[in-house]
Structure 1
């Protein structure tokens, strides 16, 4: 199946935010950060908007031409990644009363490898009605092909067993131990060497 993929622009921002919001409503980590269905429906989109804005400014968002799937990538240089006030700023922008918005940022930053430059797959979202059609694999595969030709590794944190298995099929391996969120699900840091 050929999947037409293009780089998203600022004009696609609202589409990407809606897509990510829908795709992650039932995700275990999103459910942990925003407990309760009504609360999540009312607030979750603000976190997806913040992520979208960061990646539009600093990375690349790949979008299927029909708008049914997107992948957010950040090129990450080697070196120490100083803990800054990013998680605090994110919490203040998204939901100041929700300490989990800040905590998830601090915890994932704490396990993020810093010794080698890599492509960081921050998120990938597929519309709920289109999951299982290979759209996610197509989006990831295009970047992994570039990583392979450039000799650049890739990194991500899988937020469920289902996504972890998809990433393993694409050549990612568990990096260290899973991150267990306090009273919550596990996240799986995964690394892929270029081929």
Structure 2
């Protein structure tokens, strides 16, 4: 496992775009009639920049799996990050849906500790032929959290993923259905 470099942006975006083509939470952000693949790619570019600035983009040694996991209270405001997020919103989210999406994101954030002193496991993507890459990233991130003495928080909208997280020591501490999008979220925590 290694930290991403600026040259890895295309690799990370490609893996994420491929793997999130059927993710309900990601797809619910993109307005009907918009190019879903382009929307996912735009979101992946924003996520890469946000996590890269926080030293939180991890790549497996075979470059077939990526994890976006960072210390939540690391990094501050970035104009470039804000502009990428705004670009995604303008191009791929219907403006009438923006208030409900912002409310959903605020609700999700409020389910985690206010002090921000934890690792946030935002995205994970592994290509079908990734082999042991997923385990490499999991073990590497668990070691980072253990060395720093910090818990890891995440959420998922894919029930199969929830079960996988639980198998690896995460506990589901809340389940919530977004009433506007009818997407279920499971909130999980892994203590050190």
Contact 1:90–1:101 under 8 Å retained in 2:
no
Question: Are 2:103 and 1:109 equivalent residues in the alignment?
Answer: no
Unaligned runs of 5+ in 1: 79-86
1:92 alignment counterpart: 86
Contact 1:6–1:65 under 8 Å retained in 2:
yes
**104 and 124 in structure 1: CA distance in 2 versus 1, 3 angstrom threshold:** farther
Partners of 1:107 and 1:46 in 2: how far apart? 20
Secondary structure at the counterpart of residue 90 of structure 2: coil
Question: Are 2:70 and 1:77 equivalent residues in the alignment?
Answer: no
Contact 1:62–1:72 under 8 Å retained in 2:
yes
Partners of 1:102 and 1:141 in 2: how far apart? 37
TM-score (norm 1): 0.79
Q: CA deviation at 1:177?
A: 2.9
After the TM superposition, which parts of structure 1 deviate over 3 Å for at least 4 consecutive aligned residues?
Answer: 35-38, 87-91, 99-106
Q: CA deviation at 1:104?
A: 4.0
**105 and 11 in structure 1: CA distance in 2 versus 1, 3 angstrom threshold:** farther
TM-score (norm 2): 0.81
Partners of 1:38 and 1:109 in 2: how far apart? 24
Contact 2:100–2:180 under 8 Å retained in 1:
no
Q: CA deviation at 1:37?
A: 8.6
Q: CA deviation at 1:159?
A: 2.4
Unaligned runs of 5+ in 2: 75-80
